Amino acid sequence: METIKSFNGEIFNLLYHQRRYESVLKSLGIRDFKNLQDYLNPPLSGLYRCRLTYDKQNIKVSYHKYEKRVIKSIKLVYDDKIDYSKKFTNRDELNNLFEKREDCDEILIVKNSLVTDTSMANIAFYKDSLWYTPKKPLLEGTTRARLLDDGKIIEKDIDVKDVKNYSKVALMNAMIDFDIITQYNLKDTTC
């Protein structure tokens, strides 16, 4: 599955989505790639999430109006076994963790003491004039890949106990790009 941003008919970061799509198919032993551009015909007005689902032979596209969620509180949740290395349509593992958020807006998943991702985005932390993103995310997102290529973020193992040493946090995905959360509360479930 790929989620691609479209605004007033313009498609964003298609190169990175094409790369990830091809990478997933290669990992399954498939070398017959389609050009995703050929399947996209988003609405000409408004912000849309273009959802591409695919298998070995078919690509299906649906368009969904997009409204950004407001994130003001993030809860740490722990799961050392979660695997979301490919963008699957089955998000049961993520959804089960998201249900543990209690009164928080979002979760930050910790795996083997390292922070990974939220339920819907990669994450970055700010310290000493630099943005750091987890070296081992659950999913290597397309916006994350682009920002790494541009040198705007740096990969680093971020231990959960060190999160308090960072002064800012940003979420990143295809729809929100790089969204700095100016005011947030981080809660830990280990208490």
Q: Once rounded to an integer, what is the mean pLDDT over residues 106-122?
A: 98
75, two tokens: 């809860």
89 lies in the same domain as 144: yes
98, two tokens: 């998201």
6 lies in the same domain as 28: yes
Contact 123, 170 (CB under 8 A): yes
Q: How many CB atoms lie within 10 A of CB 80?
A: 9
Work out whether the CA dihedral 95, 97, 103, 107 comes out positive or negative. Answer: negative
146 lies in the same domain as 163: yes
Q: Is the pLDDT of residue 191 over 50?
A: no
Q: What is the pTM of this model?
A: 0.94
Residue 55's pLDDT is what?
85
Computed over every residue of the chain, the mean pLDDT equals 95
Q: Quick one: DSSP state of residue 60?
A: E
103 lies in the same domain as 183: yes
Give the number of domains in the chain.
2
Contact 86, 139 (CB under 8 A): yes
The C-alpha atoms of residue 140 and residue 157 are separated, in whole angstroms, by 14
Q: Once rounded to an integer, what is the mean pLDDT over residues 79-107?
A: 94
89 lies in the same domain as 155: yes
Contact 81, 109 (CB under 8 A): no
The C-alpha atoms of residue 154 and residue 162 are separated, in whole angstroms, by 16
174 lies in the same domain as 113: yes
25 lies in the same domain as 93: no
- ∠ CA 82-169-106, rounded to 5°: 50
116 lies in the same domain as 161: yes
21 lies in the same domain as 43: yes
